[in-house]
Amino acid sequence: MSPSFPLHGAHPHDDAVTFRVWAPAADAVTLALGGGPSLALSETEDGLFACTTDAAGPGTRYRFRLGDEGPFPDPAARFQPEGVHGPSEVIAPDAYEWGDADWNGIPREDLVVYELHVGAFTEAGTFDGVREQLAYLRDLGVTAIELMPVHDFPGARNWGYDPAAWFAPASAYGRPEALRRLVDAAHQTGLAVILDVIYNHLGPDGAYANAFGPFLTDTSETPWGPAINLDGDGAAGVRRFFLDNALHWLREYHVDGLRLDATHALRDESDPHFLAELSAAVGEHVDGPERHLIAEDRRNLNRLVQPRDDGGYGLDAVWSDDLHHQLRVLTAGDTEGYYRDYQDTTAADIATSIRDGWFFRGEHSEHLGEPRGTDPGPVARTQCIVFIQNHDQVGNRPTGNRLTGDVSPATYRALSVLLCVVPEVPLLFMGQEWAASTPFQFFTDHDEELGPSVTEGRKDEFADFSGFEGAVPDPQAPAPFERSVLDWEEPTRPPHDGVLALYHDLLALRPRLGDELTVEAPSDTTLLIERPPFHIAVNLKGTADLDLPPEAPVLLHTEQGGYTPAPRPPAFTAETVSFSRPGAVVVRGD
């Protein structure tokens, strides 16, 4: 990687601006300044074109021409004020005065992640709207917020996985300084900020990067179209672009980590692998508080989080799906798609996932038609991110219904306890802490030509799941987005206020849990977890009688009056607890 940073985009300095763009196939590149002259860029090295001019400054709008083609927005623009098809704007990152000099970051073992969509988290749907809720999130007990992708996308609403302008915060959410204000305020509140980024595909509209260079390959496909060219002709420039992007978010915006979307879809046979090069670049070029590189990856691949010196990629953590899938099958009865691999799940299987971080370690996957997983032995439990809901597992259902629509309130409370006491890093999806009734539906705002094909493509992607073959909410209509916005009055009303109280108490308890772990499954539907000095008994289905340490004082149980308006408290003896329905109890042992 070039030692210079930042490399791509428009960079103000002194009384001038330096523009750089990678266009290896272009014979000529011209900078078209809004209301100003057109200037020729000179080729410097490896297909990079650059020029420095005092005719531009912060706020100047500009585009590029490639020979006779264009004009195009800058693929590394720091802001697209008129949308992804409009002119780019020069932004001065140093103009913001940061107030987080005392921020020391959050160690991985202390992470409690709260995933949110900026547009649907508040009625305002902006970075400033999220900022106004930071104190609430701190008081809840989470230690990090994870923003679903915020790089700019076409239209006014999108999940963020249709990336168009990788370096530009979405104009629908606010200007770049609004995102900086959010991160700065989060740090001053005691919260880390993790950003979801997409390096495995280009969005279907407004992603002009491929007009400038060979960003796509015709040798491999992803579910979202051609794969990113990470190992073919011109791949060095493509890799450099995305490495520059990662460093840009970590350095220019002070974010504490990146969640790397669907890393199993990064097609790369080169050495080093792109992910290893990314982790090395972050280690070399990013100073300050601890940063976290987190993979979303379905493979249970231990190499992702192994040190580079040991042949790994050097990432810090990975989303681990097995626990979620097992719990859904056991409590909600899911049977389709990847849930086929978990049909015989018992509490003993769940105990294995909790004990080891994941379940599949090379066994045959009926869903994939091949072996899945590697040995979790080299992986620390705190390198695994687990959840009972996330944006995919809610939003990729035909109507975007939450777990609360598929299990009883008692079961939901029991699952919530389990999530908050496991040694893995727990992730909550926005509104989960009060059992939000609002769905999280798939929504887009593409043009009339592209919109119908996106709707049909989504049905194809989830053909293994029933419900997608019939009438589903049209993602192009405004209603799916509007239905997905959280209702902040809910947590003030029963029964939501009780669930919120439970999460408050569980997350306050979590830092007190011991590092040692013992987990057993007395039956197919019950678990006993010991994290000294605390013991947790969990009943996931039906009735159950479970042993407890003798005379152990009860800290909480899920049938307390403060947690549910219709409690059915378990019966306690000196050494047992009897559940009349799903639930959990936490006691303190010797």
Strands 257-260 and 292-296: parallel
Kindly provide the residue ranges of all beta strands, DSSP E only, lying in 44-183, ordered along the sequence. Answer: 48-53, 61-66, 69-72, 88-89, 113-116, 144-147, 151-152, 165-169
CATH number assigned to the domain with residue range 514-588, chosen from the 4 options 1.10.10.60, 1.10.3210.10, 2.60.40.1180, 1.10.443.10: 2.60.40.1180
**Is 184 one of the annotated binding-site residues?**
no
CB atoms closer than 10 angstroms to residue 77: 27
CB atoms closer than 10 angstroms to residue 176: 22
The secondary element (H helix, E strand) that includes residue 10 is strand 9-13
Catalytic option among 277, 296, 424, 490: 296
Question: Per-residue pLDDT for 459 more than 90?
Answer: no
Q: What is the pLDDT of residue 127?
A: 98
**Is 262 one of the annotated binding-site residues?**
yes
pLDDT (tens digit per residue) in 390-406: 999 999 998 999 999 99
What strand order describes the sheet that includes 554-557?
518-523, 526-531, 534-539, 583-588, 554-557
Q: What is the pLDDT of residue 36?
A: 85
Question: Per-residue pLDDT for 473 more than 80?
Answer: yes
Question: Per-residue pLDDT for 461 more than 70?
Answer: no
How does the average pLDDT of the chain come out, rounded?
95
Q: What is the pLDDT of residue 35?
A: 85
Question: Which residues share a beta bridge with 372?
Answer: 363
Average pLDDT over residues 66-95: 97
Mean pLDDT lowest for which of 34-38, 448-452, 539-543? Answer: 448-452
Question: Per-residue pLDDT for 1 more than 80?
Answer: no
The span from the CA of 499 to the CA of 516, in Å, is: 28
**Is 564 one of the annotated binding-site residues?**
no
Query: Six-digit token pair at 487?
Result: 């209702």
By the 10 Å C-beta count (0-12 exposed, 13-18 middle, 19+ buried), 493 is classed as exposed
Average pLDDT over residues 538-555: 96
Q: Give the dihedral of Cα atoms 233, 239, 245, 250; nearest 10 deg.
A: 180
The secondary element (H helix, E strand) that includes residue 530 is strand 526-531
Q: Helix, strand or coil for residue 120?
A: helix
Contact status, residue 462 vs residue 169, Cβ threshold 8 Å: no
Higher pLDDT, 53 or 454: 53
Radius of gyration, alpha carbons of the chain: 25
Angle subtended at Cα 504 by Cα 501 and Cα 508, rounded to the nearest 5 degrees: 145
From residue 386, how far is each of 63, 261, 293, 325, 532 by CA, in Å? Answer: 43, 15, 15, 10, 21
Sign of the Cα torsion 294, 298, 304, 306 reads positive
Crossing angle of helices 496-509 and 409-421, in 10° steps, is 20
CB atoms closer than 10 angstroms to residue 491: 21
Q: What is the pLDDT of residue 463?
A: 63
Average pLDDT over residues 109-117: 98
**Is 260 one of the annotated binding-site residues?**
yes
Q: Helix, strand or coil for residue 499?
A: helix
Average pLDDT over residues 408-430: 98
First to last CA, the chain: 55
The label of the residue with tokens 């607890």 reads: 577
Catalytic option among 205, 252, 261, 268: 261
Question: Per-residue pLDDT for 220 more than 90?
Answer: no
Average pLDDT over residues 446-464: 75
Angle subtended at Cα 111 by Cα 248 and Cα 517, rounded to the nearest 5 degrees: 145
**Is 364 one of the annotated binding-site residues?**
no
Q: Measuring CA to CA, which residue among 556, 558, 555 is closest to residue 539?
A: 558
pLDDT (tens digit per residue) in 261-288: 999 999 999 999 999 999 999 999 999 9
Average pLDDT over residues 118-131: 98
Confidence bin at 389 (pLDDT 50/70/90): very high
Task: Look up 296 and say whether it is catalytic.
Answer: yes
Confidence bin at 240 (pLDDT 50/70/90): very high
Question: Per-residue pLDDT for 470 more than 80?
Answer: no
Query: Six-digit token pair at 155?
Result: 């239209």
**Is 322 one of the annotated binding-site residues?**
yes
Question: Per-residue pLDDT for 447 more than 70?
Answer: yes
Question: Per-residue pLDDT for 495 more than 80?
Answer: yes
Question: Per-residue pLDDT for 468 more than 80?
Answer: no
Q: What is the pLDDT of residue 224?
A: 86
This model's pTM is above 0.95: yes
Phi, psi dihedral angles at 62 (to 5 degrees):
-155, 165
Task: Look up 14 and say whether it is catalytic.
Answer: no
The span from the CA of 344 to the CA of 357, in Å, is: 19
Contact status, residue 589 vs residue 532, Cβ threshold 8 Å: yes
Question: Per-residue pLDDT for 112 more than 80?
Answer: yes
pLDDT (tens digit per residue) in 154-207: 999 999 999 999 999 999 999 999 999 999 999 999 999 999 999 999 999 999
**Is 391 one of the annotated binding-site residues?**
yes
Contact status, residue 441 vs residue 473, Cβ threshold 8 Å: yes
The span from the CA of 280 to the CA of 273, in Å, is: 11
